Structure 1
Amino acid sequence: MPSLFIVMLGGRHARANIEVHDVVFAVGDDLPSTYSQLKNAWFGEPQGLHIDAWIQCDGLDFEGKSYQIQFSHAAPAEQQQKLYLINLGGYDPREFGELHRYVLVIASNPVAAKAKGKAYFATHWQKQHTDRVLEVDDCLAIDLVGGHFVHLQPGEFSPQRWENSYITL
């Protein structure tokens, strides 16, 4: 059964002085089966493209409920809950630069997703700010990935697998 992969890509861009990153979504049976999707999603230079971190996600426990992630060629009903990725930014007074954290939430719309992301953020990070959270770009609906619609169904699922590692594409 295919899984949702959330992947932190790193690489170079012609107009950037340092390595840049992006989070992309893919569907596959294992990480290597997503490589072509990841390469197609990258906006920068193809040479040096790599994975810095990845999550294999078959479901999510959220607000006391367990949801399986399933894929279909049919769009979900409009009233169904959706999966969102919230990009959270904050600072550590001992480090230079902005730090980022990512949280998955389940909500009926982007406004509710942002509120849930902020609530998570408020309890999990000191001296935080939400990086452009008022803009839709920072609240990413994970609803169509690799040509498949994402459906959330009540039920059990395999635990998330994730890894921070450098994998050259």
Structure 2
Amino acid sequence: MSNKLFMVLLGATVTGRLIEQHDVLFAIADDLTQLIPTFKNAWPNASVHVDAWREVSSVQGHRIHLSDVPSDNDLKLYFFNLGGYVQGDMEEHHHKALVVANNQAQATQYIKQSEFYRNRGYQGAESHIDDKFAVDIDDVHVVNDLIAGNSLYLHISQEADLQADDVWQVGYLSLSKLAKRKPSIEA
């Protein structure tokens, strides 16, 4: 068994809310099924489910793996939550993205070239990265900071043979159905 980094989109029906709420969680486990207690703790007073997940091992031609020693390079994995609008639609649409960069300025420059950022907005309702650091970005986080306390560190290395990012597994998955799921073969 080997520890893996998972990125999970949780959905929840929260008492007193009219629409389903969502959040992203980064967690380390051998298999997704081991994270069920973590999902329940994320929203202890709600009915929680998984809407999408991916194992994070390949981002922008970089291999992502975990180690018990800190990395000796400057590369970081950034998580962005972009917000944007479609004219005539009463919704703020969101796009979640991972970016490998040496610093936040470089990561922000990269994400501002994305299709979502360039095309999900119009005058008066511009696309944005939610305002964490007074830049027009919804949220930006260093993933290593989000998994702090696990005594594991992200190591990022560029690899020429990596063709694509990890694939998202998308679709409503109740925790009871997840509990019945067989652990992945790679675990």
TM-score above 0.5: yes
More moved, 148-157 vs 49-58 = 148-157
| 1:3-152 to 2 correspondences below 5 Å | 3-14=4-15, 16-40=17-41, 42=42, 44-61=43-60, 66-77=61-72, 79-121=73-115, 125-127=119-121, 128-135=126-133, 138-144=139-145, 145=147, 147=150, 148-152=152-156
Residue identity opposite 1:108 in structure 2: N
Whether the 8 Å contact between 1:4 and 1:57 is mirrored in structure 2 is yes
Whether the 8 Å contact between 1:87 and 1:101 is mirrored in structure 2 is yes
Whether the 8 Å contact between 2:118 and 2:127 is mirrored in structure 1 is no
Q: Percent identity of the aligned residues?
A: 28
Residue identity opposite 1:36 in structure 2: P
More moved, 92-101 vs 12-21 = 12-21
- Provide, for residues 133-163 of structure 1, a one-character-per-residue CA deviation record: whole Å limited to 9, x for no partner: 4538711111152712111023356861312
Question: In 1, distance between residues paired with 2:55 and 2:172?
Answer: 16
Q: SS state of the match for residue 171, structure 2?
A: strand
Question: In 2, distance between residues paired with 1:45 and 1:19?
Answer: 15
Question: In 2, distance between residues paired with 1:133 and 1:142?
Answer: 18
Shift in CA distance, 165/9, structure 1 to aligned 2, threshold 3 Å: same
Q: Which runs of 5+ in 2 are unaligned?
A: 176-187
- Normalized against structure 2, the TM-score is what? 0.73
- Normalized against structure 1, the TM-score is what? 0.79
Q: Report the aligned-residue RMSD.
A: 2.7
Higher gyration radius (CA): 2
Shift in CA distance, 23/57, structure 1 to aligned 2, threshold 3 Å: same
Partner of 2:172: 166
Shift in CA distance, 12/126, structure 1 to aligned 2, threshold 3 Å: closer
Question: In 2, distance between residues paired with 1:135 and 1:73?
Answer: 30
Q: How many residues align?
A: 162
